[in-house]
């Protein structure tokens, strides 16, 4: 059981989403929510407060009679539950629910305590909103997507419950929970923020961190297979460039290959003995996809660090309008619901992941092309050349998937279509950015799965399992438990899918979530 505190950490999200831990509100959190609600209720009696006694958006100039104010909130929820397209996987929707819960628990929204209490129960009982991909422009936050969350809370629409789509009313009743009753502005407070793009983004960063560690591991492994010199990974060389990410990537690669019998030391081969050759058979320096890994993955490391920090800051922020401030006894109208911070970071993470995919594809091509590596059979074919095909077919999948990622990397942050009677005249498209980033990360895992199967086949082709570093050997064993050595052609798709599932669920290197938020 996790106490929901302020600030909430990335590790808390991981515990709830990936380890199914339950949450509970602290007494101070409950008190803060209650104070905010009572202050707003009293403050709004004789004042004009947007979304409490006025219409919404371009209709804010219409005053709403007291008798209609509760119905106004229900109307807002139902009218904006217009999502279409693909449905978010439950883990992303659950992350959005936790993100919205935490934002409301900060006490800047004036919601009734029952709203946060119901969200807590839904999380703990795995009643997860069915949220559609299409709908939000990310300006007043995720209005459409969050409207589906709010719809579930009032007992309408569908939820994920016990592994299937179920009517929200039925799921709530099965758990002995009552639908939410609106008190003052719960409709607006539930849908007016960045919690869906942030929730998707948080899951994206967790999967992206794991993906990056896998790529670092595979890159170190390829250095072993080609018997690369180790000086391009040295602390001295990488220390002469002042980028933190580059230094971290190089350090991890040095750690992985530390006990390898394959990696060569330049001084032993080229410095400490007289070299007579005028034409060198062995490469003095490897191709860039092998030698420049710290310089290529380093910027991705740094981008991921900044992205993760921004997401944690956003989820700990009041992303709503208006903002209820009990301390100053005031209500502030502004634009904290705008999603530009998340949109920008998701675009950067998507670009970074596309580049990481390109690196994996180039490393894969190196292994498959005998004219480049000069040590492996074509397409790492362990069967009969000409009759069998090895990894030839799988390369097509990796190449086409990489190309898709390159196309999807186009930024959305620079796209804005005015809407809402031009009230929302510049928007973030943050939810679209987060969703497309999710797609690019998922694609990258497919390319990674193909790369890993190629690597284990390459180890068998070179008969060097006993010379690998202990870390590379461990990964070899784990992948081989999924994909047996094959010489005859087999249908690879089921094996590749299993490898993808495995690497999305397991770390190559222990994933320390604090690394990217400290």
| Pairing mode, strands 2-4 and 23-25 | parallel
Q: How far apart are CA 249 and CA 293, in angstroms?
A: 8
CB under 8 Å, gap of 24 or more: what pairs does 498-505 form?
499/449, 499/452, 499/453, 500/445, 500/446, 500/448, 500/449, 502/478, 503/210, 503/214, 503/445, 503/448, 503/449, 503/452, 504/207, 504/210, 504/445
Tell me the two tokens of residue 174: 């099965």
Whether a cis peptide bond, with omega within 30° of 0, leads into 170 is no
Separation between Cα atoms, residue 163 and residue 153, nearest integer Å: 19
Determine which one of 50, 74, 287, 502 is catalytic. 50
Residue whose token pair is 């030391």: 265
- Residues 6+ away with beta carbon under 8 Å from 508: 210, 213, 214, 216, 217, 218, 475
For 396, the enclosing helix (H) or strand (E) is helix 392-408
Distance spanning both ends of the chain, measured CA to CA: 24
Instruction: Specify the residue for token string 């005028």.
Output: 278
Residues 101 and 193: their CA atoms lie apart, in Å, by 11
Asked about 213 being catalytic, the answer comes back as no
Instruction: Tell me the β-bridge partners of 166.
Output: 159
Which SS3 state, helix, strand or coil, does residue 95 take?
helix
Whether the Cβ atoms of residue 165 and residue 85 lie closer than 8 Å to each other:
no
Contact 300, 355 (CB under 8 A): yes
String of DSSP letters for 164-176: EEEEHHHHHHHTT
Give the total residue count for the chain.
Answer: 518
Q: Which residues are catalytic?
A: 50
């Amino acid at each position: 059981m996790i106490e929901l505190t302020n600030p909430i950490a990335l590790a808390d999200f991981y515990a709830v989403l990936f380890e199914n831990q339950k949450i509970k509100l602290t007494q101070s959190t409950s008190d803060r929510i209650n104070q905010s609600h009572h202050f707003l209720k009293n403050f709004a009696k004789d004042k004009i407060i947007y979304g409490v006694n006025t219409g919404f958006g371009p209709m804010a100039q219409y005053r709403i009679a007291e008798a209609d104010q509760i119905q106004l909130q229900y109307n807002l929820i139902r009218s904006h539950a217009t999502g279409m397209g693909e449905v978010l996987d439950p883990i992303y929707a659950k992350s959005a629910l936790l993100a919205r819960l935490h934002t409301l628990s900060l006490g800047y929204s004036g919601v009734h305590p029952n709203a946060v209490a119901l969200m807590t129960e839904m999380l703990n009982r795995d009643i997860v909103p069915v949220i559609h991909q299409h709908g939000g422009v990310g300006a007043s936050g995720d209005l459409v997507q969050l409207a589906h969350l709010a719809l579930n809370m009032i007992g309408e629409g569908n939820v994920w419950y016990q592994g299937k789509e179920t009517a929200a009313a039925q799921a709530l009743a099965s758990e002995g929970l009552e639908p939410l009753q609106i008190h003052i502005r719960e409709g607006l407070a539930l849908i007016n923020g960045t919690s869906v793009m942030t929730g998707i983004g948080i899951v994206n960063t967790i999967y992206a961190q794991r993906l990056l560690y896998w790529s670092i591991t595979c890159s170190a492994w390829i250095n072993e297979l080609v018997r690369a010199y180790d000086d391009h990974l040295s602390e001295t060389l990488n220390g002469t460039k002042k980028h933190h990410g580059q230094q971290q990537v190089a350090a991890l690669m040095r750690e992985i290959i530390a006990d390898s019998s394959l990696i060569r030391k330049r001084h032993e081969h080229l410095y400490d003995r007289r070299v007579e050759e005028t034409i060198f058979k062995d490469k003095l320096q490897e191709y860039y996809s092998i030698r420049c890994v710290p310089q290529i993955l380093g910027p991705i490391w740094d981008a991921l660090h900044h992205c993760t920090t921004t997401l944690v800051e956003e989820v700990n922020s009041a992303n709503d309008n208006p903002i209820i401030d009990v301390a100053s006894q005031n209500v502030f109208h502004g634009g904290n619901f705008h999603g530009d911070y998340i949109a920008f970071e998701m675009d950067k993470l998507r670009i970074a992941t596309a580049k990481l995919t390109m690196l994996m594809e180039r490393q894969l091509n190196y292994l498959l092309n005998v004219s480049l590596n000069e040590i492996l059979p074509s397409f790492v074919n362990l069967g009969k050349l000409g009759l069998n095909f090895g990894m030839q077919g799988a390369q097509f999948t990796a190449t086409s998937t990489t190309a898709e990622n390159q196309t999807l990397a186009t930024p959305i942050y620079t796209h804005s279509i005015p809407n809402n009677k031009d009230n929302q005249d510049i928007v973030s498209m943050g939810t679209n950015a987060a969703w497309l980033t999710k797609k690019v990360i998922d694609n990258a895992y497919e390319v990674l799965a193909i790369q890993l199967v190629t690597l284990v086949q390459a180890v068998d082709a070179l008969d060097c399992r006993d010379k690998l570093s202990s870390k590379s050997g461990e990964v070899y064993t784990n992948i081989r438990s999924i994909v047996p050595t094959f010489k005859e052609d087999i249908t690879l798709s089921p094996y590749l899918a299993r490898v993808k599932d495995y690497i999305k669920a397991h770390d190559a290197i222990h994933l320390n979530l604090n690394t990217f938020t400290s």
